[in-house]
Amino acid sequence: MGDILKGKAAIVTGAGRGIGRGIAVELAREGAKVVVASRSQGSIDRTVKEITDEGNVAVGALCDVGDHDHIKRTVAEAVERFGRLDILVNNAQSFGAREAPAPNPVLTPLEDFNDGEWERTFETGPTATYRFMKAAFPHLKASGAGRVINMGSYWGQVGYVGSAAYNSAKEAIRGLTRTGAREWGQYGITVNVINPTIASDALIYFRDHNPEASSRTLENIPMRRYGDIYADGGRIAVFLAGPDAAYLTGMTFMVDGGKFMTP
């Protein structure tokens, strides 16, 4: 327990599980009041309970980040409930097509890639991030020390084979992040990206269903493990949301145990 973020209010999307849950819990442990946003009421309830059982403050918000009205409503509810918004974590990302959701990117050659998956990946990735940033901006500006934390991916940086939509979407988010950082720095707002190799639900599913590829990945991580959603994913978010990172913006933070160093 700490007070690094005491008095701050945060929205974390995709906070019902995985790294989003780890970030929401760790922000709350440092004093932030957290809006736990997710598409699933059950996962929202579990994260909110984890936070409130520790004596910290959280409320849930049903939010499909692919729906613009949901985004506007979530930001409005956060401000109505807590009177302010200081921290926005754009973590949510859907996989597969809207009519055929998937637990992680469906690896398909570029020439055969599914248009529906491309559209849904962008709708819930860079488009949702863009819309949340726009909706949150007046409140982040009013904060005087607003923080936006977006999610990129190593896959996008290397062009992982078979993952055209996810790769492109995550690199688009990094471009959007740099734009936000350059334009909004004058208001005291920082905008950064985390590129995680964290044991999220999607990564665990990939590990369990692609054991050989997962084994190769671990061999290329100097730390020889996937990151923990709390100790690794959550704590870097606390740092970026707090005062010690006030002069860091437009950056990509590789939370990957050294993986990106591997040629």
Task: Return all residues near 17 (Cβ < 8 A) that are at least 6 apart.
Answer: 38, 43, 47, 200, 201
In a domain, 209, yes or no: yes
Are 93 and 195 within 8 A, CB to CB?
A: no
Amino acid at 65: V
Are 36 and 15 within 8 A, CB to CB?
A: yes
**Domain, as residue range, for 62:** 9-250
Tell me the pLDDT tens digit for each residue of 122-162. 999 999 999 999 999 999 999 999 999 999 999 999 999 99
Mean pLDDT of 58-62: 98
Binned at pLDDT 50, 70 and 90, residue 79 comes out as very high
Q: Compute the residue count for the chain.
A: 263
Spatial separation of the C-alpha atoms in residues 78 and 88, rounded to whole Å: 11
Catalytic residue (choose from 130, 154, 160, 166)? 166
In a domain, 201, yes or no: yes
In a domain, 1, yes or no: no
In a domain, 21, yes or no: yes
Which tokens belong to 5?
């973020």
Report the percentage of the chain scoring pLDDT > 70: 99
In a domain, 160, yes or no: yes
User: Residue 209: what pLDDT?
Assistant: 85
In a domain, 262, yes or no: no
In a domain, 88, yes or no: yes
User: Residue 120: what pLDDT?
Assistant: 97
Given a cut of 70, is residue 27 above it in pLDDT? Answer: yes
Given a cut of 80, is residue 4 above it in pLDDT? Answer: yes
To the nearest whole number, what is the mean pLDDT of the chain? 96
User: Residue 118: what pLDDT?
Assistant: 98
Active-site residue flag, 166: yes
Print the SS3 string covering the chain.
CCCCCCCCEEEEECCCCHHHHHHHHHHHHCCCEEEEEECCHHHHHHHHHHHHHCCCCEEEEECCCCCHHHHHHHHHHHHHHHCCCCEEEECCCCEEECCEEECCCCCCCHHHCCHHHHHHHHHHCHHHHHHHHHHHHHHHHHHCCCEEEEECCHHHHHCCCCCHHHHHHHHHHHHHHHHHHHHHHHHCCEEEEEEECECCHHHHHHHHHCHHHHHHHHHCCCCCCCECHHHHHHHHHHHHHCHHHCCCCCCEEEECCCHHHCC
In a domain, 193, yes or no: yes
Of 40, 33, 45, 24, give the one whose Cα is nearest residue 229: 24
**Tally of domains in the chain:** 1
User: Residue 204: what pLDDT?
Assistant: 85
Mean pLDDT of 16-44: 97
CATH code, domain carrying 108: 3.40.50.720
Global pTM? 0.95
User: Residue 263: what pLDDT?
Assistant: 62
